[in-house]
Structure 1
Amino acid sequence: MNVRFRPILLYTCLLAGLLLASPFLYAQLAIPAHDGRWVHDEAHVLSAQTVAELEYMLKAERDSTSNQIAILIVPSLQGESMEEYSLRVAQEEWKLGKDNNDNGVLLLISIAERRMRIEVGYGLEGRLTDAISSRIDRNEIAPHFRRGDYDSGVKAGVVAITKAIQGEYKNDEPRTKRPKRNNSSILTIIIIIAVIIFLSRRRGGGGGGYWSSGGGWFPPIGGGGFGSSSGSWGSGGGSDYGGGGDFGGGGSSDSW
């Protein structure tokens, strides 16, 4: 055989081998059929009683609000990205949520990787935000999972998800401490005010009416300075999200 043809033959064999192996190298993790169930425990970590309770809760939620919340527990992701697999399940295969509301949610749990994800449809992202989803993962589900109590963890997660959708979940973030007032700055302001009062008396002949009539510099002090809250305590940050297209990657992935 001509030496020049040996590299070509080698490359051809390698290419053929890659083509034959590609279905095995790039096979995606299978997705179980939805078949009317809202709880799919492929890892068999939930008790039959818990599955029945969850099915009842999720069907009641769907019937009363039309929100479609489903649970999928797999033994392993087998190397597939949790985010990609979650979107394939929720949007492409199970098609959770109504077309005009985009109100689907998927709770995906992988036992081997000790990972979980809440995948949120567009229409529910306004209340079941990324931050709240992560907080539910870490504070409601993970503590039970670390003890091996999957029943309590999944139930706590579902209850928290439904409460968040209803706007009743308390996302109690630690309140940041306000910076201490700078006493020297306050003293400086007092001195300036005293100087203004002194100069006004010298110009106006000592009349005392400047407290009520000369309000040009009083309202700014009482209206916004000296540590006023500026309305920040009353802002809830809630907003109505109008939907617009199935799932867009909203939610959170966390571990336990």
Structure 2
Amino acid sequence: MAHATVPPAALPLRPNPARFVNDLAGVLTVEQRLALEQKLQAYNDSTTTQIAVVLLKTVAPYEVADYAQQLGEAWGVGQQGRNNGIVILVAVDDRRLAIQTGYGMEERVPDYVTGLIIQQQFQPDFKLKRYYEGLDHGIDVIIHRAAGAFSPLTPHPAPWSAQPWWVWLILLTLVPLGLGVMYVMFFKVGLSGSSSGPRTRSTLSSSSSSGSSSSGSSSSSFGGGSFGGGGSSGSW
């Protein structure tokens, strides 16, 4: 089904500098917005995958899925060529939301998964106006699913008591062996002593200074990703 055209004038302007969390509805506290921003910034830094969260009061008269898809295109969420962007759009007054995935994310986060995330993560919290909690939980599931490590339909792993006999045999063999190696290593170190001595104050100061200089947050920009309409929408 072709997507209805949302005129550029109906879309919010692309933030400059780019922000991953854009609360244009005013439902998040400053602390909540910063916590989500830091999580998504760290995810972008480690994977280059970009998740943009946009909260609006309304997208009327447009369909929320069409609006989210064209917002992702207009902002260029994701990396050009990789198309690894995801848009989470929440229209608070409409009580409607959508997850739209870029071309490169449709295999990792297919439509049935985005639908389950909306039902299981977003809707229960949004009904209680717990927008931060819903977004925080839903984003965690998206991140794990995008890594291929989690599926809402995957059963919990079997408890240790249900593990096969050979797992216990390996553990009973490796644990004593590892403890023995550690004992020998510490015994030799204790006999030989250490000639290096404690670190000097200048060394500690240098390490601390280096750590503090690299702890600042890095800025990112949307890279020109494309969206083909993959994803799901729903209401609460």
TM-score, normalised with respect to structure 1: 0.59
Matched, 1:29 2:3: no
Asked whether 1:56 is paired with 2:38, we answer yes
* Residue 51 of structure 1: how far off its partner (Å): 0.5
CA distance in 2, matches of 1:28, 1:79: 13
Structure 1 residues 76-95: aligned runs within 5 Å? 76-91=58-73, 93-95=74-76
Q: Comparing 31-40 with 100-109, which one deviates more in the overlay?
A: 31-40
Structure 1: distance between partners of 2:20 and 2:231: 19
Determine helix, strand or coil for the equivalent of 1:117.
strand
Confirm or deny: 8 A CA contact 1:28 1:80 kept in the other structure. Answer: no
Determine the C-alpha separation between the residues in 1 that align with 2:12 and 2:57.
12
Give TM-score scaled by structure 2 length.
0.64
Question: Is the contact between residue 97 and residue 103 of structure 1 (CA under 8 Å) also seen in structure 2?
Answer: yes
Aligned-residue sequence identity (percent) comes to 31
Cα drift, residue 48 of structure 1:
1.0
Alpha-carbon contact 2:65-2:232 (below 8 Å) kept: no
SS for the counterpart of 1:34 is coil
Distance 1:127 1:150, change over 3 A: same
Partner of 1:240: none
Q: 1:121 aligns with which of 72, 80, 102?
A: 102
Residue 40 of structure 2 corresponds to residue 47 of structure 1: no
Segments of structure 1 that go 5 or more residues without pairing to the other structure are 1-25, 175-244
Worse overlay, 97-106 or 27-36: 27-36
Partner of 1:144: 125
Q: CA deviation at 1:28?
A: 4.9
Superposed structure 1 runs of 4+ greater than 6 Å apart: none
- Cα distance, 1:84 vs structure 2: 2.1
2:8 and 2:78 map into 1 onto residues whose CA distance is 27
1:100-249 map, 5 Å = 100-172=81-153, 246-249=226-229
Larger CA Rg, structure 1 vs 2: 1
Greater relative CO (CA pairs within 8 A, separation 6+): 2
Question: Residue type of the partner of 1:252?
Answer: S
User: Structure 1, residues 117-159: CA drift from partner, whole Å, max 9, x if none?
Assistant: 0000111111101000010011011100111111101111111
**What letter corresponds to residue 119 of structure 1 in structure 2?**
Q
